[in-house]
Amino acid sequence: MPRADFASLPHDARVWVFAADAPVRDEKAARLLAEVDRFLDGWAAHGQPLTCARDWRDDRFLAIAVDQRDAHASGCSIDGLFRILKALEGQIGASLLGGGRVLYRDGAGAVRTVSRDEFSTLATQGAVSGTTRVFDATVATAGAWRERFEVPAAESWHAALL
């Protein structure tokens, strides 16, 4: 199947979320998305084309989804996606594959990146709270990406850091 529009994928489509540790804008975002699109256009698992899509938000968040009704992404096919993203990191000036980060909106609405420890310190200082909007990159379906990706910290695993 060709690459689909993200909105057309069912709620239970499997999703992987990649969060850049710095904003990716303009020509760097265009390069990233063009390479991702090129990969998705040929993405297959065990020779079976995957019905897939991508979404891009806030100059930081890339969601890749696969409709698994026809074919499931295999370990090897997922590894291929990760290799492409890792190779692009140097070109876009941001890491997409790092863990241990918390991404949240500050009071002005800008997306910020801090470590989990730094987020806890910000909570102790009163700079973030249960109402602070956070991004949950652990969402696993397209429906969760659409409905629960950005939520108040009190409604996410982030609450344990407050």
What residue has token string 């370990």? 75
Rounded to an integer, the average pLDDT of 50-56 is 94
Span 26-49, pLDDT tens digits: 999 999 999 999 999 998 888 888
The whole-angstrom separation of Cα 161 and Cα 129 is 10
- What span, in angstroms and rounded, lies between the C-alpha atoms of 98 and 157? 18
Nearest CA-CA partner of 101 in 24, 22, 28: 22
Residues 61-111: pLDDT tens digits? Answer: 999 999 988 777 777 778 888 999 999 999 999 999 878 899 999 999 999
Residue type, 123: A
According to the model, what pLDDT value does residue 80 have? 86
The DSSP H or E segment spanning 144 is: helix 142-148
Token pair of 62 as six digits: 């890339």
pLDDT digits (tens, 9 = 90+) for 100-126: 899 999 999 999 999 999 999 999 999
Q: Which residues on adjacent β-strands are paired with residue 15?
A: 65
pTM score > 0.75 for this model? yes
Report phi then psi at 14, rounded to 5.
-70, 135
Whether 88 and 96 have beta carbons less than 8 Å apart is answered as: yes
